[in-house]
Copies of this chain bind each other. A is one copy, B any other.
Amino acid sequence: MPGMQSAAMTLMLPAGSATDPDGQSGSATLLSDLVLRGAGSRGNRELTDHLDSLGLQRASSVGVHHTRFSVAAVGPRVLDGLATYGDIVRRPHMPLDGFESARDLGLQALAGIDDEPRQKLLIKLREQYLPWPYGRNNMGVAKELAELKLDDVKKDHANRYHARGAILAIAGNVDVPAWKAAIEQHFGDLASGPAEKIVTKAPPGNFLHEEQKSEQTHIGVAYASIPETDPDYYVARMAVEVLSGGMSGRLFTEVREKRGLCYSVSAGYSSLKDQGSIICYAGTSNERAQATLDCLVGELHRLTEGVTHAELERAKTGLKSATIMQGESTSSRCGSIAHDWWMRGRLRTLDEIKDAIDAVTVDRVNAYLKKHKPGPFTTVIVGPKALVMPA
């Protein structure tokens, strides 16, 4: 990325919520905190001080398949930090007091979900909709987290912090030969364990009302789409953009602008390797909740009738514009190429994405929508009253 001073690194390890050991939900999230509490020659405080002294902005998160450590800073400093990430992954101290502190914070975070009805809705929707264990809450289950022992997570670290299925991506101001040598030095001999085979079970249900005394009702609707690796992927994406891209998206104009039913409504596409999904969300007053759900589901069905040329052109321009802007951020670009490698086993160039968007036609979108009627739906409601799914 010429002209950039910054660089970003994304390190994905095969320790996602889906492979948390049975009865130990939340183990990957706990580990992602614990390994940062001292590693290699540095204790807890020294490690944090050292990474901050390099000016590294960093984050860690746990997804379905991976624990992800993300770092961004002025280019050479990111490379300087690599040896320490080698320590974090391979030689964490995992002290008992750090373990107890991380577990306590995890339990607090879980208890706090009741104060965050929107977050609660999205967690419950994934649990209901996705095949188990993909739908697991990455924060874990309070009872299991409370009973976790340090020895359990040490075993889990040995089992899941390895190179098989791990991905390291870099973007921006990077000296590639220097990076290759440093990766070889710090990770070259890292053990390759067998990739864990995930056996899935059917999701638990298709409707849940989670009663909560609140001023707002939070509504989630999910249904299946094609995966990102399907040849029709960009066709399906364009249909979602017509539904909810930009402010001219149908959900925004129909539910929010025209009918004033709620101030927050959206639909988004996401994908696991073998399953794509459309996840819709609306937050609204308790009185308007049923009308909002009716209107939302009505718009999902109306998509089957097709999109217009003008809608598609706006959707294409919007997605290309967003792609160009994300391509100008080293952190975004790094996250994208790590995702590409996981999902496709190769990197898409920005031009390839642009060309693929340009190649989508109204006929292809409308043929796709006719063939892929929306539903069956999984619906979750967080609020004082249950709602009725429209027929």
Measured CB to CB, the residues of A under 8 A from B are: 2-6, 37, 44-45, 48-49, 51-58, 72-74, 77, 100-101, 104-105, 108-109, 111-112, 114-118, 213-216, 245-248, 253, 256-260, 262-263, 283-285, 310, 313-314, 317-318, 320-322, 324-325, 328-330
Could you say which of A100, A101, A310 has the most chain B C-beta atoms within 10 Å of its C-beta?
A: A101
Task: Assess the A57–B253 pair: CB atoms within 8 A.
Answer: no
Q: A53-B317, A58-B247 are in contact. List 4 more A-B contacts (CB 8 A).
A: A6-B325, A52-B245, A74-B320, A115-B214
Task: Assess the A313–B53 pair: CB atoms within 8 A.
Answer: yes
Given the known A-B contacts A4-B328, A115-B214, A325-B57, are A285 and B108 also in contact in the complex, defined by CB atoms under 8 Å? yes
Residues of B within 8 A of A115 (CB): 117-118, 214-216
Residues of B within 8 A of A317 (CB): 52-55
Residues of B within 8 A of A108 (CB): 216, 262-263, 284-285
The residue in chain B whose Cβ has the minimal distance to the Cβ of A313 is B53
Give A37 to B77 CA distance when docked, in angstroms.
48
The residue in chain B whose Cβ has the minimal distance to the Cβ of A214 is B115
Give A108 to B216 CA distance when docked, in angstroms.
8
A290 to chain B, nearest CB (A): 15
User: Pick the contact of A257 from B37, B57, B74, B284 — CB < 8 Å?
Assistant: B37
Task: Assess the B329–A74 pair: CB atoms within 8 A.
Answer: no
Could you list 20 examples of A-B contacts with CB < 8 Å? A4-B328, A6-B325, A37-B257, A45-B248, A48-B246, A52-B314, A55-B318, A55-B322, A73-B325, A77-B321, A101-B257, A101-B258, A101-B260, A105-B263, A108-B262, A108-B284, A108-B285, A112-B285, A115-B214, A328-B329
Give A173 to B101 CA distance when docked, in angstroms.
48
Give A286 to B227 CA distance when docked, in angstroms.
43
Task: Assess the B328–A285 pair: CB atoms within 8 A.
Answer: no
Residues of B within 8 A of A49 (CB): 248, 310, 314
Could you say which of A37, A109, A263 has the most chain B C-beta atoms within 10 Å of its C-beta?
A: A263
Task: Assess the B57–A321 pair: CB atoms within 8 A.
Answer: yes
The residue in chain B whose Cβ has the minimal distance to the Cβ of A318 is B55
A76 to chain B, nearest CB (A): 12
Give A339 to B311 CA distance when docked, in angstroms.
36
Residues of B within 8 A of A328 (CB): 4-6, 328-330
Give A58 to B100 CA distance when docked, in angstroms.
44
Task: Assess the A111–B325 pair: CB atoms within 8 A.
Answer: no
Give A314 to B112 CA distance when docked, in angstroms.
32
User: Pick the contact of A51 from B6, B213, B215, B247 — CB < 8 Å?
Assistant: B247
A293 to chain B, nearest CB (A): 16
Given the known A-B contacts A53-B314, A115-B117, A314-B52, are A260 and B105 also in contact in the complex, defined by CB atoms under 8 Å? yes
Residues of B within 8 A of A37 (CB): 257
Residues of B within 8 A of A48 (CB): 246-248, 253, 257
User: Pick the contact of A112 from B100, B116, B216 — CB < 8 Å?
Assistant: B216
Give A330 to B328 CA distance when docked, in angstroms.
9
A33 to chain B, nearest CB (A): 10
Give A378 to B193 CA distance when docked, in angstroms.
55
Give A37 to B260 CA distance when docked, in angstroms.
13
Residues of B within 8 A of A322 (CB): 55, 57
A279 to chain B, nearest CB (A): 20
Task: Assess the B215–A44 pair: CB atoms within 8 A.
Answer: no
Task: Assess the B214–A100 pair: CB atoms within 8 A.
Answer: no
The residue in chain B whose Cβ has the minimal distance to the Cβ of A75 is B324
User: Pick the contact of A72 from B214, B314, B325 — CB < 8 Å?
Assistant: B325
